[in-house]
């Protein structure tokens, strides 16, 4: 193979990779942005009723604490 033919092959490969990246990006964008889950909590919407068991073993109700303060939920993975 000559050097010119090798460069042409690299340009074709680079072009195919670029087109694939654009297609994958467009499909991903459509899935994320355009087709949102209708049950997804929207910005500014009221939080759903939520009750969890706290670290002290007592039940924690979001509705009971929401009028007093703005609650912040943190989901801790535990072990990396």
Structure-token pair, residue 60? 């924690």
- Does residue 31 belong to any structural domain of this protein? yes
- Does residue 19 belong to any structural domain of this protein? yes
- Number of structural domains (the chain) is 1
What's the domain range around 30? 3-65
Give me the pLDDT at residue 5, please: 66
Share of the chain above pLDDT 90, in %: 0
- Does residue 74 belong to any structural domain of this protein? no
Q: Share the mean pLDDT of the chain.
A: 76
Question: According to the per-residue pLDDT averaged within each range, which of 33-37, 52-56, 70-74 is highest?
Answer: 52-56
pLDDT of 77 over the 80 cut: no
Answer for the pair 51, 60: CB distance below 8 angstroms, yes or no: yes
- Does residue 34 belong to any structural domain of this protein? yes
Beta-strand ranges (E) seen in 13-61 are 51-53, 59-61
């Amino acid at each position: 193979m000559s050097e010119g033919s090798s460069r042409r092959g690299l340009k074709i490969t680079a072009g195919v990779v670029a087109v694939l990246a654009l297609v994958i990006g467009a499909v991903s964008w459509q899935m994320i942005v355009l087709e949102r889950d209708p049950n997804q909590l929207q910005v500014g919407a009221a939080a759903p009723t939520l009750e969890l068991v706290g670290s002290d073993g007592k039940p924690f109700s979001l509705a009971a604490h929401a009028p007093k303060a703005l609650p912040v939920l943190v989901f801790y993975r535990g072990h990396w």
